[in-house]
Structures are given as C-alpha cells and as structure tokens.
A = this chain, B = another copy of it.
C-alpha cells in the first residue's frame, strides 16, 4: 500500500506551529533589534525574551545551523538572506494579527500580548480575512 495520507490531526498542526515558533520569534527579534539599535547582541536577545543568555545562545546556535542567522564568536548577531525574508513575513503577519485585534476593540497593550501567541496559529486564509477586516473597518461580507 502506498501510505494513505492519513491527514494529520489538528493537534499535529498546532505542534508543527510550535516547532517553528521559536525560529520565527527570534529572527523577528533580531531584525527589530538591529533596526532599533544598529546591532543585535546576545544580551539584547536574552533581555528581549526574558530568558538567560545561555538559553538565547543555544537557540541562536541552532538557527545558525538552520541557515537563518550568522554569528562569529563575541560578535553581534546577523541575519542571513533567508532569515531576513522570514523576519519580514513574520513581522507582516504579526502586525496584521495585532491590528486586527485592535480593530475589533481590544486595547493595544493586550493586543501586543495576545498577538504574540496567536500569530503562529493563523492560517493564510485567516490572515487574509484579518487583513481585509482591518482594511475595510467593519464589514466582512463575501466578495
């Protein structure tokens, strides 16, 4: 038998979301820190995520191995082209989720928090619906 696809459960989708979540958040953070601060040091990342520098260091090492970041010992952290692209698309998606939550009436502080988790679980279809909703204010009629 040629391996029936046996569609993954929705829980498997959520697990997959979580397995890419760290990479997404880190490249996004590196991009933001470079943008705001001209460079991104390990301590900056550790503080940004509220973790120890050891945790940040190990994660950075893995993302280097995955081709998203570039580092030299004791030097600031840089994005590869792939990393920069991923950061950009994550920032856009994140911002759409955040502004959508605000558009339906959430305060911006809570929107900051909620969108940080939600952003990794929205399908392209959902992002598109959010985007349209934000753009046109209220309506979401079918068109």
Interface residues, chain A, with chain B CB atoms under 8 Å away: 8-14, 17-18, 25, 48-50, 101, 104-107, 110, 112-114, 116-118, 120-123, 125-126, 129-130, 133, 138-142
State the number of copies, please. 2
With contacts A48-B9, A50-B12 taken as known, whether A104 is within 8 angstroms of B129 at the C-beta atoms is: yes
With contacts A49-B9, A49-B11 taken as known, whether A106 is within 8 angstroms of B129 at the C-beta atoms is: yes
Say whether B123 contacts A104, CB under 8 Å: no
Given the complex of chains A and B, what is the CA–CA distance between A129 and B116 in angstroms?
A: 18
* CB neighbours of A110 from chain B (8 A): 123, 125-126
Given the complex of chains A and B, what is the CA–CA distance between A50 and B9 in angstroms?
A: 6
Say whether A140 contacts B105, CB under 8 Å: yes
